[in-house]
Structure 1
Amino acid sequence: MKKLYIVLSFAIASSVTAQNADTQKADKLYNRYEYVSAAKEYLKLVENGKTSPYVYKQLADTYFNMFDTTEAAKWYAQATQTEQDAETYYRYAQMLKSNGKYEESNKQMQKFAALAPKDQRAITFKQNPNYVPKLLDKHKNFTVKPLEINSDKSDFGAVLYDNQLYFTSARNTARKDYGWNKEPFLDIYKADYNIDGTFTNSATVNELNSKRHDGPVTISADGNTVYFTSDSFREKVFEKDKKNNLQLGKNNLFVCTKENGKWGKIISLPFNSKEYSTSNPSLSRDGKTLYFSSNMPGSIGGVDIWKVAVNADGTYGEPVNLGAKINTEGNESFPFIADDNNTLYYASSGKQGLGGLDVFVADLAKGTEAVNMGQPINGEKDDFGFTFNKDKNIGFFASNRAESDDIYLATPLCGVELIATVTNAKTGAIIPGAKVAILDDKNNVITSKNADEKGQVSYDVECDKAYSLEISSEGFESNTFPVGKTKGGKKEMPVTLQPIESIITETEVVLNPIYFEYNKANITREGAFELDKLVQALKSNPNMVILAKSHTDNRGSDVYNLNLSDKRAKSTVQYVISKGIPAERISGKGMGEIEPKVDCKENCTEEQHAQNRRSEFLIVKK
């Protein structure tokens, strides 16, 4: 149903090439946009052996217009056994992608790109043909779930103002069916948003609805002005198609203001036309700009995102196309401008996505390229109509991932972009290539990266959680940096590493304690991180020779502790040798409990015992 608001309001009829007496009935239904009935008639021709490339393509386009991706792909496969136009290959690629068949989709995109090399969609594809894995790996910023007010018909276009959710639905079975997909005409609905986060009491907004399609809507910040999409038949504006006995209307934009608390006179916007469609309005919070979708002259593709100034005196400026960073030769629709008046969300079939339509976000103030929002907002099917309510911190979008168009609630995951910049503590110079591991609050390594040429590493982490960074680089003392809990947004952390010479004294290499677990001699992860500093010191000083002394706490017998400390000394030496240091440059000696760091005797605490279980690194030769 959403395709009414994407593809020129009405489908573009296929070429008349190869029409004949056999296809006459099916073609007439197709040209009347009665796709359900048209598909049945074309299928009869196939069953009776009256097939041709034309019939296959008509069947494929029919299912494409109904967004039956499986059937459309099936018949495009048949149609493309003979040479087709570029757009047919593009549609076939879209349908394959919507079924998760990305490799097969890429093959069709290659054919499309060969036939339309100057098309921006082709150029973008050739520049980055294997973009899907990157989109799938994107950090997930939302959790999503379907709304309880969805029906078994099309529901989309949800936008929350105060505690009222306005949306568009075909659920009114008392209405006449629309031939496109045999669903009732669309109406504007609203539902209550309750304090517990549920939505109830769905009802039609009768003052705005007409006999044909109505919705979606956008409402001004003060709640007194509504813009909405409706059929041009509301104004008795249409074209007559005598051949197919049709009256062809367009989607148009209308405005209405409240009078005594009720919606008053409905007025057609001055840039509407019977020559093109205007639909899917979104009014900026300052009320100065109206965004919408249209295929009016000047569009780059089928349907583009446009904007128009709303003047203080109630007049309107000239519509302005948002340009090639937003629009493509495909279709762009369902714009939503956020409360900051700069962040634009919209749906595109022409930019690189995971399915037929994907949701993108763009910063209009910066003028940068639009960014795919990734999963779980986007998936293999059509995803569109994203809106966001800043006060409630929730968003909405529509998707046909469960077959029919349904509305989904999108709840942001609180996230922090952590950016660490690693520099030399003495000189301030950046340290590119430094290894930066991020650990959780239990000191488990989550993952690690190498700093880029600017000495930077970025991680997406959760809000209200503590982390730490372990950073190491050749020639520098490794170090650990705590990352405190953050409420969200971006956290920049300048971190410095001391040159390795800073831990070398006249008599020893000073490390943080190499603690051992009780009654064990194995090197722990934390211990290995410290011993790597010793490895760096030995590499930087090729003549240095080290004696590693290992100590135990005073629990256990003297003999047992001496043996245990000897094992720990050997483990320490073996670790350093495993890192490429010659065996003759390091030796180990177990000291047992005879040289405690904390002489607590029989009343040692666990912390004191841990301090006594240690290793020391004496310089035998410099």
Structure 2
Amino acid sequence: MKKLYITLSFVIASGLLSAQNSKTKDADKLFDRFEYIDAASAYLKLTEKGYEDSYVQKRLADSYYNVFNTAEAIKWYAKLVEEKLQDAEIYYKYAQMLKAEGNYDEAKKQMQQFVQLKPNDERAISFQNNPNYLADLKAKRPLFEVKTSDINSNKSDFGALLTDDNTVYFTSARNEARKTSGWNDEPYLDLYQAIYNEDGTLSAPTLVESVNTKWHDGPATISADGTIMYITSESFNDNKFEKSDDKKSKFSRMYLYKATKNDGKWSNLTALPINSTEYSLRNPSISKDGKTLYFSSDMPGGLGGEDIWKVSVNGDEYGTPENLGEKINTPGNESFPFITSENMLYFSSNSKQGFGGLDVFEADLNTGSEAINIGEPVNTGKDDFAFSFNTSKKVAIFSSNRDGVDNLYIARPICGVNAIVMVKSATTRKAIESALINVLDDTNSLIATSSSNDAGQQSYEVQCEKVYTFKVSKEGFEDGIFTMPASPNGTTLIEAYLEPIKPIITEKEVILQPIYFEFNKSNITAQGAEELDKLVAVMNEYPEMVIFAKSHTDSQGKDKYNLDLSERRAQSTVQYIISKGIDKERISGQGFGESELKIKCDKCTDEQHAQNRRSEFLIIKK
């Protein structure tokens, strides 16, 4: 049922493979009305009559995808990929369904096909950067312990929120007296409430008075003082809708409404002015100070299907919605935002790297760091979503269809911290890979040693409420010591900025740290550029300075080969300096091969060879 709030109002046939025609007309109407159960049945009848082409196959696959019938979706996506079609989204959705069924090897193959067709897509780039990410996710320390809620029904229950007065608000399709939705043949959604007891149990749920309508209602968010509610419902409440092309059908949008509590009762249900019949807004979450409302929407200006947005709130005045950007959103769907009192954002995504379906992610909006998958057991291969966290009570509630229907789950934090160290240059702010990181506990005992990855990151599972020290070193940089204060359960980011070692300027030369080239190559590496940028800074400081760059090799290899290699490296160095705006009259270079060894030796050690492989920057004029 939760996919109603992800795809309702913007399901669009992407890359139609054949075409609609008179035979598919009735089934297409059902699909376009988001009645996917009936639509799938209608398309199946066509196949039974012998009419089956790629268009029908795709509509069947997408119908099952939209209601998360993974087995049937896989069956029909498999037929499509056999035809080697050029619709990239088919391969992506197929991979998502395979992951949901735990078939990770086959999912990886389909993602590789997606990468070939859409190499510049953010999802493709993320996959290419770490195609084996699942092993890392499975190795993460569990952040929460999970148990099933005792108020679940045999229908969809999701979108729960625990307030400080121990009221749990949640959305459910359990009301059998309600009209049935064509989406999944369940009753329309209502907002319910229950009391959270200290032993973790919940009282019998009751309908929330005065906010439920004849349409879908919920999820909702409540202000910190308990007097304001923002709730999702349908634009039909305000007689607003969009008509189908043939003018015979009406389509609602999901709207956000505000209600206020007076004398213990909710009233004055009013549509927000930021609603529009051109797109939907749903799944609200209000900040602790009541000044920022987060929500999900497919409004224009986003990065993909559905994105996370925010809008400023001042009484009954609302600002212009702002997209949370690419650190949160992707070309896929991000939805169900929840903002904690500490400004931590939890949300669900089906496009960031996860276990399959929707996964729950967290992002620290105080630091602007990248969103992090919170791992198992909250996340599974199924849809895991609508994660809310009452940090003062240390109780989270989230939703999942891991048992076949959307249910509520209680999550309690396990005391521990995921410490993420980000190593960057203090001058360029660029990530530093292969930096050595030593982790010491509050007794100054070494507990871990490793290196930063190519993104300058490394993570460590440490105990909560303890002080840790991170000693970081990298050749060419001053050593750095960074302290993580005693932290509560969760994720903590440690930004380790290393100061580059400054060049030594003598009367004769500018001395830099060693400049390394790849074996048998002469192109400037990232490390070499970092050092040469220091020389550029010196030459800008001394505008009359003229430099002669000398490149040397070790004594391994033939003389002529070494001479040619050093000459190429010297000229690459000169060209790099010129590319940074230094006049070509102020820089020249020459390769000397092994003709000027710093250490002459018959059987040189690796260290001696390294000292002979060097660059010198002589000052011709200062």
TM-score by length of 1: 0.68
Number of the residue aligned with 1:365: 366
Number of the residue aligned with 2:519: none
Report the AA paired with residue 361 of structure 2: F
**Deviation of residue 436 (structure 1)?**
9.2
Number of the residue aligned with 1:22: 23
2:26 aligned counterpart, secondary structure: helix
Q: Deviations over 1:342-395 (max 9, x none)?
A: 210001112111111111111112111101111111110111111001221110
Q: Do 1:419 and 1:459's aligned partners in 2 also have CA atoms closer than 8 Å?
A: yes
**Deviation of residue 49 (structure 1)?**
2.7
Alignment of 1:314-329 (within 5 A): 314-329=316-331
**Deviation of residue 253 (structure 1)?**
0.4
Number of the residue aligned with 2:212: 209
Number of the residue aligned with 1:5: 5
1:229 aligned counterpart, secondary structure: strand
1:136 to 1:487, Cα distance in 2 relative to 1, 3 A = closer
1:196 to 1:60, Cα distance in 2 relative to 1, 3 A = same
Number of the residue aligned with 1:114: 116
**Deviation of residue 320 (structure 1)?**
0.5
Q: Do 2:220 and 2:230's aligned partners in 1 also have CA atoms closer than 8 Å?
A: yes
**Deviation of residue 32 (structure 1)?**
2.4
1:263 to 1:129, Cα distance in 2 relative to 1, 3 A = same
Counterpart Cα distance in 2 of 1:404 and 1:416 = 32
Counterpart Cα distance in 2 of 1:248 and 1:486 = 49
**Deviation of residue 27 (structure 1)?**
2.1
**Deviation of residue 243 (structure 1)?**
2.6
Q: Deviations over 1:249-285 (max 9, x none)?
A: 1001010112233112111111100000000000001
- Cα RMSD, aligned residues only: 3.0
- Asked if residue 190 in structure 1 is aligned to residue 193 in structure 2, the reply is yes
- Asked if residue 157 in structure 1 is aligned to residue 194 in structure 2, the reply is no
Q: Do 2:293 and 2:312's aligned partners in 1 also have CA atoms closer than 8 Å?
A: yes
- Asked if residue 100 in structure 1 is aligned to residue 102 in structure 2, the reply is yes
Counterpart Cα distance in 1 of 2:257 and 2:2 = 18
Report the AA paired with residue 397 of structure 2: F
Q: Do 1:358 and 1:378's aligned partners in 2 also have CA atoms closer than 8 Å?
A: yes
Number of the residue aligned with 1:405: 406
**Deviation of residue 145 (structure 1)?**
1.1
Counterpart Cα distance in 1 of 2:368 and 2:5 = 26
1:310 to 1:436, Cα distance in 2 relative to 1, 3 A = closer
Counterpart Cα distance in 2 of 1:453 and 1:86 = 33
Counterpart Cα distance in 2 of 1:44 and 1:271 = 42
Q: Do 1:142 and 1:376's aligned partners in 2 also have CA atoms closer than 8 Å?
A: yes
Counterpart Cα distance in 1 of 2:437 and 2:214 = 66
Report the AA paired with residue 259 of structure 1: N
Report the AA paired with residue 349 of structure 1: N
TM-score by length of 2: 0.68
Counterpart Cα distance in 1 of 2:184 and 2:195 = 29
Report the AA paired with residue 195 of structure 2: D
Aligned pair count reads 453
Report the AA paired with residue 226 of structure 1: M
Q: Do 1:3 and 1:9's aligned partners in 2 also have CA atoms closer than 8 Å?
A: no
**Deviation of residue 119 (structure 1)?**
1.3
Report the AA paired with residue 150 of structure 1: N
Report the AA paired with residue 191 of structure 2: I
Report the AA paired with residue 306 of structure 1: W
Number of the residue aligned with 1:614: none
Alignment of 1:12-51 (within 5 A): 12-13=12-13, 15=16, 17-51=18-52
1:416 to 1:321, Cα distance in 2 relative to 1, 3 A = closer
Counterpart Cα distance in 2 of 1:359 and 1:85 = 27
Counterpart Cα distance in 1 of 2:127 and 2:436 = 31
Number of the residue aligned with 2:336: 334
Number of the residue aligned with 1:267: 270
1:113 to 1:451, Cα distance in 2 relative to 1, 3 A = closer
Unmatched runs of 5 consecutive residues or more in structure 2: 422-434, 467-485, 495-622
Q: Do 2:333 and 2:349's aligned partners in 1 also have CA atoms closer than 8 Å?
A: yes
Number of the residue aligned with 1:578: none
Bigger shift: residues 367-376 or 233-242: 233-242
Counterpart Cα distance in 1 of 2:458 and 2:136 = 18
Report the AA paired with residue 197 of structure 1: G
1:380 to 1:458, Cα distance in 2 relative to 1, 3 A = closer
Q: Deviations over 1:515-565 (max 9, x none)?
A: xxxxxxxxxxxxxxxxxxxxxxxxxxxxxxxxxxxxxxxxxxxxxxxxxxx
2:218 aligned counterpart, secondary structure: strand
Counterpart Cα distance in 2 of 1:457 and 1:211 = 51
- Asked if residue 249 in structure 1 is aligned to residue 252 in structure 2, the reply is yes
Counterpart Cα distance in 2 of 1:190 and 1:405 = 17
Number of the residue aligned with 1:296: 299
Q: Do 2:399 and 2:406's aligned partners in 1 also have CA atoms closer than 8 Å?
A: yes
Report the AA paired with residue 88 of structure 1: I
The structure having more radius of gyration, on CA atoms, is 1
Counterpart Cα distance in 1 of 2:185 and 2:79 = 26
Q: Do 1:31 and 1:244's aligned partners in 2 also have CA atoms closer than 8 Å?
A: no
1:75 aligned counterpart, secondary structure: helix
**Deviation of residue 55 (structure 1)?**
1.5
Counterpart Cα distance in 2 of 1:108 and 1:380 = 16
1:281 to 1:242, Cα distance in 2 relative to 1, 3 A = same
Bigger shift: residues 104-113 or 44-53: 44-53
1:276 aligned counterpart, secondary structure: coil
1:111 to 1:261, Cα distance in 2 relative to 1, 3 A = same
**Deviation of residue 174 (structure 1)?**
0.5
Report the AA paired with residue 118 of structure 1: N
1:265 to 1:77, Cα distance in 2 relative to 1, 3 A = same
Q: Do 1:113 and 1:122's aligned partners in 2 also have CA atoms closer than 8 Å?
A: yes
Q: Do 1:292 and 1:307's aligned partners in 2 also have CA atoms closer than 8 Å?
A: yes
1:214 aligned counterpart, secondary structure: coil
Report the AA paired with residue 239 of structure 1: E
Bigger shift: residues 193-202 or 265-274: 193-202
Alignment of 1:70-85 (within 5 A): 70-82=71-83, 83-85=85-87
Alignment of 1:413-428 (within 5 A): 413-415=414-416
Counterpart Cα distance in 1 of 2:60 and 2:312 = 42
Q: Do 1:388 and 1:395's aligned partners in 2 also have CA atoms closer than 8 Å?
A: yes
Number of the residue aligned with 2:202: 199
2:109 aligned counterpart, secondary structure: helix
Report the identity percentage: 55
**Deviation of residue 204 (structure 1)?**
0.9
Counterpart Cα distance in 2 of 1:156 and 1:348 = 16
Q: Do 1:343 and 1:364's aligned partners in 2 also have CA atoms closer than 8 Å?
A: yes
Counterpart Cα distance in 2 of 1:329 and 1:419 = 26
Counterpart Cα distance in 1 of 2:437 and 2:325 = 41
**Deviation of residue 450 (structure 1)?**
4.0
Bigger shift: residues 381-390 or 108-117: 108-117
1:44 aligned counterpart, secondary structure: helix
Q: Deviations over 1:387-421 (max 9, x none)?
A: 0012211101111100111111001111256999x
Report the AA paired with residue 263 of structure 1: W
Counterpart Cα distance in 1 of 2:419 and 2:134 = 25
Report the AA paired with residue 149 of structure 1: I
